[in-house]
Amino acid sequence: MLGADGTTEFVVEMASDVSELKLDALTSLPNRMLFRDRLDTALAAARRHGSLLGVLFLDIDGFKPVNDTLGHSAGDRLLIELAHRLESTLREDETLGRVGGDEFVVLMPEMSHEDDATVLSKRLLEAARGPFELEGSWVTITISIGVMLCKNGSRDAELILGAADAAMYRAKAAGGDGYRVADALPDLS
């Protein structure tokens, strides 16, 4: 701040830590912003190395009845416990994020083979099926998963996320508790 004579009288310094803004407040997983950042980084690496990556979009089948019958605190507890189970199935280089509500995403960078995504999808489905104890009740859930594969980093993050989301809705329409792979493997090389 300048005084009447134009000289500096004092300085105000403001700082804020935005690192917590990139984590989901409930599950402490990467949120949409951080997940998107990691996906962009993985896409750049895929372009450099000509590698394959996968994105899995997950949604809980029938989540609303949990909130309606047991309450929102039980729904929150379910999301936290499910996040732990899902995360325990991943490799160290894979990222699980929560992008909102009961939607999660997984990034599989530098995959060896296209089948790696279906193998992981099956592990995730199995991890979600085990019963959860919520508010003194045992609840069994299932999830639906959409898979999008991208070779050589040839698509942008929003297209990949949108295709994985659409494939997840196809899995839901088929009765849930399953996965669907997006129709095409994009490759512009």
Catalytically active residues are: 102
Cα distances from 5 to residues 2, 10, 12, 13, in angstroms, run 8, 13, 18, 22
Buried b / exposed e across 56-80, counting CB within 10 Å, b at 16+?
Answer: bbbbbbebeebeeebeeebbebbbe
Sequence-ordered alpha helix ranges (H) in 24-71: 32-49, 63-70
SS3 5: coil
SS3 23: strand
- Rounded to whole angstroms, the Cα distance separating 67 from 141 reads 13
SS3 141: coil
